[in-house]
Structure 1
Amino acid sequence: MSRFVTVLVLLGLVLTGCVSREDAADSRDAPAEVPLSELSGLTLNVGDQKGGTEALLRASGALDGAPYAISFSTFTSGPPQIEAATAGKIDFAITGNTPPIFGAASNAKVKVVSAYDGGGQGDQILVPADSPIQSVADLRGKSIAVAKGSSAHGHTLVQLNKAGLQASDVKLVFLQPADALSAFTQHRVDVWAVWDPYTAQAENELPVRSIARATGVTNGAGFGIASDAALADPKRNTALSDLLQRYAKAVRWANDNREQWARRYGEEVGLDPKVASLAQGRSLRLPTDLSDELIGSEQDMADLFAESGQIAAAPDFARWVDRRYTDVLKPLYLDRS
């Protein structure tokens, strides 16, 4: 147990900023890209979660020869990344499918610029192995630990709706993973909704049982978000285009070298090899299209959040989507098969 807690705490550093309540700016025309040779001296600030983005880029060699520097910052979940981008602390981050909805609802100064198919297998709802809870339908009156605005929050809400329950039928206890782990193992909450690699860690190190997973229930997507300020700056816009292509190539390498990638990932973030292999074997996010269908599924989730009172009003999610990088990324999309 102590090792699990230590890993969560050490890798779960929170960098926060305040999300602006000002009206979100309309999407601007992308500035003209500059030659990569002009990016010398530029540092792109990138948010990360549990080392995944940085570890993947470095393990694959995708950053070799990059004409700019990257400074990585680690966050516990997507919502603090959205806040940091709005506050100008980071230029880019990859989040789950729910943080951009909360960001849009708060008029965050970010745009969704890329999409990734994570499959949703690692986004699960866990109960103790000896719990009488057998399904989501049994959650009425139960307490659920979940990070507010995370993909696990969205997954929980969709599962409740599917089972004919509302958020008001349960007690949502908003905790980041390290605190949620403590509450769950001390039986101060009945249920833990979480995502990989935390799910994989819990499955490997705790007596738990999954009662639901996001596959086929939510879109299971991840999204690249960029700050409005970075998108408006010619040099940072150019660097982001280059970084997104490098990241897509890194995912292609990881997809083709899963054992090697899982080993490197575990070493980089301090995970047991079995945990790293399980998490990356099922939750590797493959680049995919920012399609109208995907954006529509995000709108459906935003509407559900508003109907349940989790956010004040549903944003028009499409206003927070910028497809300027679609043409350069499309040749790098991979089929999940």
Structure 2
Amino acid sequence: MRNRLTFPFSGPLRLLGQALVATAALLLVPAASAAQPTKIVLGYQALWASGGDIFETLRHTNILQLYGFDATFKTFTSGPPLGEAAVAGAVDNFYAADAPVLRAASRLPGSKVLARSHDSRYAIIVGPDFHGGITDLKGKTLSGLFGTTVFPRAIRQITAAGIAQPFQQIHIINQDIPEAAASLQAKQIDATVTWDPTEEKLLRLGYRSIYDSKPGENFGWIGLTGSWLKKNGDDAAVRFLEAWVTAAWWASNHPDQARAWFAKTSGIDPGLLAIADQSDRYLRAPVPDIKTYDFRIDDQTIAGSQAVIDFLVQQKLLPQRIDVKQYVDSSYIERAQQNIRAGKTPDLSAIKVVSP
């Protein structure tokens, strides 16, 4: 006869005993295992406003913790080195204008561009002694950071102004943003393509712009690497985007504090950062209702980015064409924004500053 497990009691006492056994079994499973924070290494640009305000908010408040993340941060001077760090596995995200993000994402299988990060402006800046406009760049020396989106956008504007062969008719050199600003001040170059806060700093020093970008022409993108997405899953990516929108809301409604943090990181005067914030739809003035925030990348933006990529290929600045649509996936930010609008995210009143 087969032995059977029996309980010495019956009825309610037996049910109680079964419940106690089940509870004991559950207690053997570490409770913290299901609540372990998701680790993420975030890279951002210390010389690019206004997205820096949002990253500093993530860094100095408990927003990422509220969404279940354990984050570390690394800063870079511009998008191309940040992208290289992502390719090398040193950071888990992409954060730059469209072209550098796409360059990096295309080298990492499974990587995705998830959302717009912020609006920004750029300009072609010349020295006080420069006379004329864009067409007067013929025969002059122009610097730009080749791996950025701003550079090809500026070159397209130069072409549209009438300089049909800019690489033959202008002496164009590759320089990072700090190096280019120093070269312009030393009169080693005649013009540079740059963005805020360096753009505003040069304007205040008496330099002038011969081309100003139009509203919506320049912007940042956020993406995550394929390895991070594979390890942590789609839901974690959605949570990260929820945290991003929440940080944008906090920065919008606490602008002085967000700028003060970014000023400390960048070494840039907060007044210059305030000017840069005027280019962003949510940072130029407080936007109290978080449910109105929208960071989706629309079809028109994708088409514009594809035109930039195709221009880079045509100018032999990119070895092969990248299909932008293949990498942009707006479903994540749509889910994140739906959750925020439905009140399925942490209470905004729970946000606290955790480091000065």
Partner Cα distance (2:100, 2:294) in 1 = 18
1:318 to 2:318 alignment: no
In the superposition, relative to structure 1, how do residues 137 and 271 fare at CA in structure 2: closer, same or farther (>3 Å)? Answer: same
Shift of 1:37: 7.3
1:119-198 paired onto structure 2 within 5 Å: 120-121=120-121, 123-132=122-131, 134-165=132-163, 166-168=165-167, 169-198=169-198
Query: What SS does structure 2 have at the residue aligned with 1:93?
Result: strand
Q: Select 1:253's aligned residue among 250, 255, 259.
A: 250
1:13-36 Cα shifts (integer Å, max 9, x gaps): xxxxxxxxxxxxxxxxxxxxxxx9
1:277-334 Cα shifts (integer Å, max 9, x gaps): 112232467752222221111111111112222223322221222334132234469x
Query: What SS does structure 2 have at the residue aligned with 1:223?
Result: strand
Partner Cα distance (2:319, 2:44) in 1 = 28
In the superposition, relative to structure 1, how do residues 148 and 260 fare at CA in structure 2: closer, same or farther (>3 Å)? Answer: same
Query: What SS does structure 2 have at the residue aligned with 1:212?
Result: strand
Structure 2-normalised TM-score? Answer: 0.73
The letter of the residue matching 1:322 is D
1:327 to 2:325 alignment: no
In the superposition, relative to structure 1, how do residues 136 and 163 fare at CA in structure 2: closer, same or farther (>3 Å)? Answer: same
1:45-86 Cα shifts (integer Å, max 9, x gaps): 111111714313245653353422111111111111222112
In the superposition, relative to structure 1, how do residues 195 and 89 fare at CA in structure 2: closer, same or farther (>3 Å)? Answer: same
Query: What SS does structure 1 have at the residue aligned with 2:237?
Result: helix
Structure 1, 95-104 or 243-252: larger mean CA deviation: 95-104
1:46 to 2:42 alignment: yes
Partner Cα distance (2:108, 2:143) in 1 = 25
Structure 1-normalised TM-score? Answer: 0.77
Decide whether the 8 Å contact of 2:242 with 2:337 is kept in 1: no
Shift of 1:186: 1.2
Partner Cα distance (2:149, 2:35) in 1 = 34
Task: Provide the residue aligned with 2:289 in structure 1.
Answer: none
Partner Cα distance (1:39, 1:144) in 2 = 53
Shift of 1:89: 1.3
In the superposition, relative to structure 1, how do residues 268 and 61 fare at CA in structure 2: closer, same or farther (>3 Å)? Answer: farther
Task: Provide the residue aligned with 2:295 in structure 1.
Answer: 288
In the superposition, relative to structure 1, how do residues 37 and 236 fare at CA in structure 2: closer, same or farther (>3 Å)? Answer: farther
Decide whether the 8 Å contact of 2:143 with 2:191 is kept in 1: yes
Q: Select 2:275's aligned residue among 266, 278, 281.
A: 278
The letter of the residue matching 2:70 is A
Identity level (%): 23
For these two proteins, the number of residue pairs brought into alignment is 292
Decide whether the 8 Å contact of 2:108 with 2:226 is kept in 1: no
Partner Cα distance (1:48, 1:182) in 2 = 23
Q: Which has the larger radius of gyration?
A: 2
The letter of the residue matching 2:243 is R
Coordinate RMSD, CA, aligned: 2.8
Structure 1, 176-185 or 162-171: larger mean CA deviation: 162-171
Partner Cα distance (2:189, 2:173) in 1 = 8
